[in-house]
Amino acid sequence: MIFEVLVTVVVVGGISAILSALLSVSDAIVNNYGDVKITVNKKRNIDTTGGSTLLSTLGTEKIFLPSACGGKGSCGLCKARVVTDIGPVFPTETPYLNKEEIKSGVRLACQIKVKKDLEIEIPEELFNIREYQARVISLHDVTYDIKELNLVLNGDISFKAGQYIQLVVPPYGKIKESTMRAYSISSPSSQKRTIQLLIRLVPNGIVTTYIHKHLNEGDELRILGPFGEFYLRHSSSDIVFVAGGSGLAPVKAIVHEMVKTGFERKTYFFFGARTTADLMYTDLFRRIESKYDNFHYIPALSAPDDSPGWKGETGLITDVMDSYLTKQGSREREAYLCGSPGMIEACINGVLKKHGLTENEIFYDKFG
């Protein structure tokens, strides 16, 4: 009886081993796409091995498409036009692509695998994006839930004030893989070797939890950048900045930039906060305001009862901004918004459109 059981175990084990080996061999054959060529913008040829996503394949070749989620299909930023026919759009891509994009062959690079020779088109400026090693030189609280992170890079970075980088944090605790998120640079663009980020702790957030609970001075991180279309446009219109929380970061970078030119345009910076505990860099903006007649800093508290002694504006930032714009009357304006999606929606639909601003005059980070 025991002998029969042992024989059965050996036979079943042997069959399992053979099946497993067959699976490995078939996997290697089926998923082996061999050498493939990717032609980028008709001018750069990449010889590589097929099988990986287009996003990671390009990354290996130091061509970095924007990606706030690190290739998990949740940010929709890694768009590339694929000229070669690679079949229909996947359901995981459709939420991020409009009809025109689908028609013209735009795909999410993180969702498509390189299985054959491909011809693709990407914006020229993406060739300027670089990968940096960054070391933490300081990390401290600027509010109870926002930290200021200062990094020194292993090379100079050129960016437009208002743009963002992608920060990659290593695996930690139960997080088994590196994770990437986008953060706006808050330091002046004249600083090439160091950058500053403002990072708010997001409940349950992988990267922000790492920054707030695990990161220390001297630690190394990887960053990619710069990315983004959120930067000051040249015109003579008045400028309306609206920010809340860590959305202050790109505005701070742009205001630093404007200090250099002496604020030639009337500029109003509305910063929405609940209480004084949510305010940050108040002294900095007050100093700039006292020096430049064209710069106006308007912080507003929506829960002023919790901040005794507050003498500034009170109410929702949308109402405060509406009141200012109404008093000013009709003027040429551009608006730059950075904060929670709810605040941005309310500013655009509830206030800015009412005051005659068109979509072309309103700017905000798409990764919000």
Q: Which residues bind other proteins (CB under 8 A)?
A: 68-69, 72-76, 91-95, 171, 173-177, 181-182, 200, 202-206, 209, 244, 247, 272, 274, 302-303, 316-318, 339-343, 346, 365, 367-368
Instruction: Decide whether 238 or 319 has the Cβ nearer to other proteins.
Output: 319
> Closest separation between CB of residue 282 and other proteins, Å?
18
Instruction: Decide whether 163 or 318 has the Cβ nearer to other proteins.
Output: 318
Task: Round to the nearest angstrom and report the end-to-end CA distance of the chain.
Answer: 68
Distances (CA, A) of 270 to 88, 102, 343: 45, 38, 12
> Closest separation between CB of residue 73 and other proteins, Å?
6
> Closest separation between CB of residue 365 and other proteins, Å?
7
> Closest separation between CB of residue 228 and other proteins, Å?
13
Instruction: Decide whether 215 or 343 has the Cβ nearer to other proteins.
Output: 343
> Closest separation between CB of residue 215 and other proteins, Å?
14
Instruction: Decide whether 41 or 275 has the Cβ nearer to other proteins.
Output: 275
Q: Is the peptide bond before 171 cis (omega within 30 degrees of 0)?
A: no
Instruction: Decide whether 113 or 130 has the Cβ nearer to other proteins.
Output: 113
Quote the CA–CA distance of 121 and 85 in Å, as a whole number.
13
3-state SS track over the chain: CHHHHHHHHHHHHHHHHHHHHHHHHHHHHHCCCCEEEEEECCCEEEEEECCCEHHHHHHHCCCCCCCCCCCCCCCCCCEEEECCCCCCCCCCCHHHCCHHHHHHCEEECCCCECCCCEEEECCHHHHHCEEEEEEEEEEEECCCCEEEEEEEECCCCCCCCCCEEEEEECCECCECCCEEEEEEECCCCCCCCEEEEEEECCCCCHHHHHHHHHCCCCCEEEEEEEECCCCCCCCCCEEEEEEEHHHHHHHHHHHHHHHHHCCCCCEEEEEEECCHHHCCCHHHHHHHHHHCCCEEEEEEECCHHHCCCCCCEECCHHHHHHHHHHHHCCCCEEEEEECCHHHHHHHHHHHHCCCCCCHHHEEECCCC
Instruction: Decide whether 102 or 175 has the Cβ nearer to other proteins.
Output: 175
Quote the CA–CA distance of 230 and 214 in Å, as a whole number.
30
> Closest separation between CB of residue 162 and other proteins, Å?
15
> Closest separation between CB of residue 152 and other proteins, Å?
26
Instruction: Decide whether 56 or 194 has the Cβ nearer to other proteins.
Output: 56
Instruction: Decide whether 83 or 97 has the Cβ nearer to other proteins.
Output: 97
Instruction: Decide whether 230 or 295 has the Cβ nearer to other proteins.
Output: 230
> Closest separation between CB of residue 76 and other proteins, Å?
8
> Closest separation between CB of residue 164 and other proteins, Å?
10
